[in-house]
Structure 1
Amino acid sequence: MGLYLVDTVVFVAFIASVIAIGMWMSREEKDSESYFLAGRGLSWWLIGFSLIAANISTEQFVGMSGDAAREVGLAIAGYEWLAAVTLVFVAFFFLPKFLRAGIYTIPEFLEHRYNQYARLVMSLFTMMMLVVVNISAVIYSGAKLVDVLVEHPLVNLQTASIAIGSLAAVYVMFGGLKACAWADLLQGSALIIGGGMILFFALGALDAADPAAIAPNAEIAAEIQDASPLQKFLTVHDEKLCTIRPANDSKVPWTALIIGLWIPNFFYWGLNQYIMQRTLGSRSLAEGQKGIVFAAAMKLLIPFIVVFPGMMALTLFREDMQKEAREKTNITSLVLFEHLSGESTGLLEGLNEHVTKAIEEAKAELTKSEAEAKDDAKQVVFNMESEFVELYPEVAARIVAYNKKVAADNNLTYSVEAAGPQGVLYFFDLMGFGPDEPEPKADAGEPSDQDVNGAIVAAASGDDRFDVAKQMIGVDEDAAFPLLIKKLVPPGGLYGFMIAAIMGAVLSSLASMLNAASTIFSMDLYKRYFVPATSEAGLVFVGRTCVIVFAILGIVVAPHLSHPMFGGIFTFIQEFQGFISPGILAVFLFGLFVRKASTLAGIIGLVANPIIYGGLKWLDKIPGLGSMEWARQLTNFAFLDRMAVTFFAILAIMSIATIVAPRKELYEFKANTTMNLDSSKGAKVFGTLIILATAALYWFFRGSAVIPF
């Protein structure tokens, strides 16, 4: 579906209005406090909408709905519902201390508690994470939406990334935080309305669909024959409507609900610069608390307009999602396989001009790479998702045969029985293994070619001679939400409004992240270490220059995130934030409650995070450890459980450091503000109700077992 004239007018008018209002409201920003913190004058309702709009973007609409379409289902809503509880705690335990200290940035608080080097380390970590992970991920997810919706030879992930990143950079360069906040008010409202529209249209499409086409079996098809749209949704997706996942789930195990999932939530909502910058700009503590609690209430609604439609997308448009995988995501891997094997898969033939151009570009890039390749170039072993094997069995057989030859030619030792949890996760259902069972099941029978291929990939993943990053997927789940818009939203104004709401969210999130990253560089690095005597106008100029640089870096990284190895964009963001989030949270909490904690303990805690987390993630890649069972077991932790282990390990290290070298006197937090720090009683009441509502949602969607092991 293309944009009609009226849709184009609505889209352009909405985006232009948002930008114009933001620019007008921030037209008098001349000093650093005005540009970076909106003059500390934001009201509660503006803070609440701004928090939601800064948070909810295409990383949720594309990434989270994609995970919901996968086997994770409603469990992915834990990021939203537990965030509501987290926000309540942030409002009454974190925010008072931040506002009392009168800080511009979260790293600045660590200087108050520890020393300037703790601030420096956190500033560097946070800035790198914002640019490499958050900014690039939002640019990619927005570009993914454009790539699916706009079928034109000139539109692809690269060109869409350039357009989105550039527009966001220009927007925030001339606006600052107040522009972001006022734009967020409009975009946050449009986003919730647009998400509600998608839910409504998806339920309508589910109701109109043939029961036999959407039901997993004939029995359920008969059951939903005369059911209401809501009942059809609940029945068809019954297995996915469970917030409690088994302990061996790779993304949201029930164990993560105890510790692991709280770590990214508290880091994101309490210690994340681009989120907390909104609350640091509040006119009083009470206004900030009311704004945060208002945002918490809205977080309870998000899964209904993001997660539920994602589930329905796979049910309604599985063939379209398969087409997206075949014609876009798999192109590079298929071109490489045909080149290396000398065989045609047939999957690159008879495609439209847009796809043919992508194939030619992939071939040209391959030729260029080979010309620059060294003699020690790695051997490629191809991995396949189980649904790819089911869809294209003949192609899968050729890939398996090729991988066997590569293994034989390079004397790669592999064993189906030994692969166990080390085997690539996509092959678990084919190999007859459970995710934490190293022995094959009794009914597994003789290993098939696919079993052997899983073992080859498992063995090659621990061998430096091989590249196992080339993967073939059957379904592109990240296309779920874009397809819902493309297939269900009617033209004539609504389509343009929907795209404007989503793209507005992209610009809002990007603007927030770019502003936060530039604030950290300007206030924590440039003013502190490079030019301490810089003027207020000079700081604003440096901040605006940083916006351009960070946007360019994000644009360069973004297209590479389409690779299946990242497991979906939402998972990519959450997993890679684990390199800093457990340590920052541990250092903050330890410094808050252990007043004898020394400056050394704070620095060690921050630096230890990427070492411990990275070790747990890649331990089996260290030569000599890949074949050891204990190393394989550690690397197969769900990343949320890995965060929990890292968090407690850092607390233990900081405890030892404090015992060995404690502060000579108890630390006292000093006030550095004239702001009204009276707490909001009304916010406390509503915060309590939000916690109870979250517990009720988890109880209602608990599934058939409370703790399924």
Structure 2
Amino acid sequence: MKLGLESLDYGIFLAYFIIVSIYGIWIYKNKGTKSADSKDFFLAEGSLTWWAIGASIIASNISAEQFIGMSGQAFQLGLAISAYELIGAISLVVIAVYFLPMYLKNNIYTMPQFLQVRYNGSLATIMAVFWLFLYILVNLTSIIYLGGISLEKMTGFSFMSCAIFLTIFAVIITLGGMKVIGYTDVIQVVCLVVGGLATTYLALDLLSEKVGDGNGVFEGLRLIKEKADSHLHMIFKPNEFFVHDGKGGQTDAYKQLPGLMMFIIGGQWIVNFNYFGCNQYITQRALGANLSTARNGLLFAAFLKMLMPFIVVLPGLAAYVLFQENADPAIVNGITDNGIVRPDNAYPVLLNILPTGLKGLAFAALTAAIVASLAGKANSVSTIYMLDIHKKFFNKNLSEKQTVLYGRVAIIISFVIALLISPLLKNFGQGFEYIQEYTGFISPGILCIFLLGFFWKKASTGGALAAAILSIPLSALFKYQFEEMPFLNRMGYVFWICVAAHVIISLIQSKGKDNPKAFELKKDWFKVEKSFVAGAVGVFAVFALIYYIFW
């Protein structure tokens, strides 16, 4: 397998880089405010359209963790890993209807601000610090790591060189503010969808050529059905299906996707409701718009989300069959590392066997996904730090210009920290699993606090603080005392314990009375337009059909 890109590939990538850069500069100069406005920098207030909101949400969401990590888990687990994308689409619809009105009608712009308005400042500060650590040490770090791996496999440059390149590119985009991020994300999404689908097409065509009779894409799909039937089920049972763990051993697939229990106990719902509904770098795109525009943006994101299995899961399945059939030494050698099967190598290896020109397109698509996601997350780090920590504790009287300047400094510092520790993630096995598992230490408590804070008027600060404090130690206790428990089930159990603690303490503190800080709830807030209902029905129908066919 030849590492590196040809001149044509670099030319295509350079064209992508120039287009994104020029468009970003144009947006910055023509659509930004003439003065240094912090709301414009952090939120792009009132300027993002529904299609820009939806595209930006997906661009921030779909990154190396999907292209590399989820494709790797498709190699490992099969079609079942699509659950994250499919349930994510359902969650976006639910959040558009029920969560967005609670933010927008109460003028909430950051997640810590919600905690301060609904509970108190101490809880807001505690969680702001948690979020900063989570976004930098888990999210930014893992995306740089997985992105660096993929570019290393494609170009032949060292991991650190690739990671530095991605970081610098992302810094350039991020320093322009949320408006530049939002509108350049439209180009990024076009690149990642077109390039991703092209990679899927060529992976299936390659499978047909190497394993079948060379009859094209549909034969490739048929070969996946014939050669990897075990990888075409959405629901696992315990001890039914053992897979490579990325560390040289085997693991029960049920531990990563625990069948019906991840729905019944609620692990999958917690992952997605927390990620899309209580997550600064996702909700931030919608919080500067009116309710109708924001809802349509989330619905558009849900439709784009349903495309992701075609872009990131099918290539992993094709790579699995090629590997199992020993169809190409380059693929087998690329996926193994010193005798250890590394599922995360599946997608980069496929990219390397693309023809000249298309490899450049795929390179641009992957870079677009990585950079867009890094930019969105870093902007959220800066937003939380400046609005919820720096201006509260260090300097309350910062001018708008100073706020934007310090926000840019925070962006650079967060990237430097993430870049320096990213090589350490090599010891954690599967990248996508790492992100989900360690984010899951805090997400049960966060979702509990937000749900009860939104919809239960007796929810108290003491109850919320108990949920916040319990989430991490309970998760650690379950992880190390019940090692065989799937992490999604662990998240579910921790969530319900946090809910119980929150409710009991709130009832004791409230003495049966509503909390004076409780949000108002009006039925008309949750009414949606007929066009939204039609789109939502379409999303739910596709979800049900996929589970019916591939149960």
What TM-score, normalized to structure 1?
0.71
The equivalent of 1:423 in structure 2 is none
Kept after mapping to 2: 8 A contact 1:67/1:477: yes
Larger CA deviation: 39-48 vs 515-524? 39-48
Aligned residue in 2 for 1:118? 123
Q: 1:697 aligns with which of 529, 546, 549?
A: 546
Q: Which amino acid in structure 2 is aligned with residue 260 of structure 1?
A: G
Q: 1:649 corresponds to which letter in structure 2?
A: I
2:349 matches 1:483: yes
Alignment of 1:457-468 (within 5 A): none
Partner Cα distance (2:430, 2:79) in 1: 16
User: Is the contact between residue 180 and residue 512 of structure 1 (CA under 8 Å) also seen in structure 2?
Assistant: yes
SS in 1 for 2:99: helix
The Cα shift of 1:669 comes to: 5.2
Cα distance in 1 for residues equivalent to 2:25 and 2:108: 25
| 1:616 match | 478
The 1:226/1:200 distance shift into structure 2, 3 A limit, reads closer
In structure 1, C-alpha distance between the alignment counterparts of 2:489 and 2:206, rounded to whole Å:
38
The answer for the alignment partner of 1:264 in structure 2 is 271
Q: Which amino acid aligns with 1:22?
A: G
Do 1:139 and 1:555's aligned partners in 2 also have CA atoms closer than 8 Å? yes
Distance 1:553 1:519, change over 3 A: same
The answer as to 2:523 corresponding to 1:523 is no
Counterpart of 2:17 in structure 1 is 15
Q: Which position in structure 1 is the counterpart of 2:250?
A: none
Q: Aligned partners of 2:216, 2:463: CA distance in 1, in Å?
A: 63
Alignment partner of 1:560 out of 424, 442, 445? 424
CA distance in 1 between partners of 2:225 and 2:311 (Å):
15
| 1:87 paired to 2:89 | no
Are 2:51 and 1:40 equivalent residues in the alignment? no
Note the C-alpha offset of 1:4.
2.2
Whether contact under 8 Å (1:33, 1:40) holds in the other structure is: no
How big is the shift at 1:87?
Answer: 0.5
Residue 346 of structure 2 aligns with an amino acid whose one-letter code is A
Code of the aligned partner of 1:586: C
CA contact 2:463–2:502 (8 Å) conserved in 1 = yes
Alignment-derived partner of residue 408 in structure 1:
none
Other-structure match for 1:683: 532
Q: Is the 8 A contact 1:609 1:650 kept in 2?
A: yes
Q: CA deviation at 1:698?
A: 0.8
Aligned residue in 2 for 1:570: 432
Q: Which amino acid aligns with 2:543?
A: T
Q: 1:450 aligns to what? A: none
Q: Deviations over 1:237-294 (max 9, x none)?
A: 2110100011451100111133111111111111111111111122x11111111011
Task: Give the Cα separation in 2 of the matches to 1:477 and 1:533.
Answer: 51
Amino acid at match of 1:182: Y
C-alpha displacement at 1:22, in angstroms?
1.7
Q: 1:512 is matched by which residue type in structure 2?
A: G
Equivalent in the alignment of 2:485: 637
Structure 1 226/497 Cα, relative in aligned 2: closer, same or farther at 3 Å? Answer: closer
Q: Please say if residues 289 and 680 of structure 1, whose CA atoms lie closer than 8 Å, have aligned partners that are also in contact.
A: no
* Partners of 2:336 and 2:9 in 1: CA distance: 30
Contact kept, 8 Å, 1:106 with 1:272, in 2: the verdict is: yes
> 2:455: which partner in 1?
593
Change (3 A) 1:227 1:44: closer
Distance 1:511 1:680 in 2: 32
Change (3 A) 1:324 1:303: same
Pick closer, same or farther for the CA change 1:614–1:233 going to 2, 3 Å. Answer: same
Q: Measure, in 2, the Cα distance between the counterparts of 1:197 and 1:252.
A: 28
- Alignment-derived partner of residue 417 in structure 1: none
Deviation at 1:325, TM superposition (A): 6.1
Match 1:143 to one of 110, 125, 148 = 148
Q: Which amino acid aligns with 1:161?
A: A
2-structure distance, mates of 1:518, 1:208: 49
Distance (whole Å) between structure 1 residues aligned to residue 466 and residue 510 of structure 2: 14
Question: Which residue is equivalent to 1:361?
Answer: none
In structure 2, what is the equivalent of residue 202 of structure 1?
203
Report the Cα distance in structure 2 between the residues aligned to 1:558 and 1:106, rounded to whole angstroms: 26
Please list the CA deviations of residues 115-151 of structure 1 after superposition, one character each: whole Å capped at 9, or x if unmatched: 1112112211111100000000110111011111122
Structure 2 CA distance for partners of 1:531 and 1:557, relative to 1, 3 Å: same
- Hey, what does 1:161 align to over in structure 2? 163
Answer yes or no: is the 8 Å Cα contact 1:321–1:479 preserved in 2. no
Contact 1:285 1:677 in 2 (8 A): no
What do residues 444-477 of structure 1 show as CA deviations (whole Å, max 9, x unaligned)? xxxxxxxxxxxxxxxxxxxxxxxxxxxxxx2111
- Separation of aligned partners in 2, 1:47 and 1:640: 29
Mapped contact 2:211–2:322 kept (Cα < 8 A): no
Alpha-carbon deviation of 1:162?
Answer: 2.0
The verdict on how the C-alpha distance between 1:226 and 1:490 changes in structure 2, with shifts beyond 3 A counting, is closer
In structure 2, C-alpha distance between the alignment counterparts of 1:26 and 1:291, rounded to whole Å: 22
- 1:278 is paired with a residue whose SS is coil
Equivalent pair of 1:165/1:554 in contact (CA under 8 Å):
no
Structure 1, residues 198-251: CA drift from partner, whole Å, max 9, x if none?
111111111112349x9xxxxxxxxx9998332222222211010001145110
In 1, are the aligned partners of 2:47 and 2:179 still within 8 Å (CA)? no
Which residue among 100, 108, 112 is the counterpart of 1:103? 108
Distance 2:9 2:545 in 1: 40
Deviations 1:47-77 (A, max 9, x none): 111111111111101000101111x111111
**Cα 1:669/1:650, change in 2 over 3 Å:** closer
Q: Which of 333, 338, 349 is the matching residue for 1:323?
A: 333
Q: 2:396 is matched with which residue?
A: 532
Aligned twin of 1:342: none
CA contact (8 A) 2:43 2:288 kept: yes
* Distance apart, 1:81 and its partner CA: 0.3
Partner of 1:218: none
- SS of the counterpart of 2:147? helix
Q: How many residues are matched? A: 520
Q: Secondary structure at the match of 1:261?
A: helix
Decide whether aligned partners of structure 1 residues 45 and 661 sit closer, same or farther in structure 2, where only a CA change above 3 A counts.
same
One-letter identity of the residue aligned with 2:125? L
Q: Is 1:324–1:475's contact at 8 Å kept on the other side of the alignment?
A: no
Amino acid at match of 1:655: V
Q: Distance in 2 between matches of 1:669 and 1:600?
A: 14
**In structure 1, how many angstroms separate the alpha carbons of the residues matched to 2:332 and 2:210?**
19
Is the deviation greater in 526-535 or in 162-171? 162-171
Q: Give the Cα–Cα distance (whole angstroms) in 2 for the partners of residues 678 and 650 of structure 1.
A: 30
- Identical aligned pairs, as a percentage? 35
Task: Determine the C-alpha separation between the residues in 2 that align with 1:615 and 1:23.
Answer: 49
In the alignment, the residues of structure 2 paired with residue 698 and residue 74 of structure 1 have an alpha-carbon distance, to the nearest angstrom, of: 10
Alignment partner of 1:273 out of 275, 280, 283: 280
* Selected match of 2:28 from 21, 26, 29: 26
Alpha-carbon RMSD across the aligned residues, in angstroms, is: 2.2
**Residue aligning to 1:440:** none
Shift of the 699–25 alpha-carbon distance from structure 1 to 2, 3 Å rule, reads same
Deviation at 1:165, TM superposition (A): 1.5
Which whole-Å CA distance do the structure 1 matches of 2:380 and 2:101 have between them?
A: 20
Contact 1:314 1:321 in 2 (8 A): no
Say which of 264, 275, 290 aligns to 2:296. 290
User: Displacement, 1:655?
Assistant: 1.6
User: TM-score when scaled to structure 2?
Assistant: 0.90
Aligned-partner Cα distance in 2 for 1:14–1:278 = 24
Cα 1:637/1:521, change in 2 over 3 Å: same
Matched, 1:185 2:33: no
Q: Distance in 2 between matches of 1:637 and 1:677?
A: 37
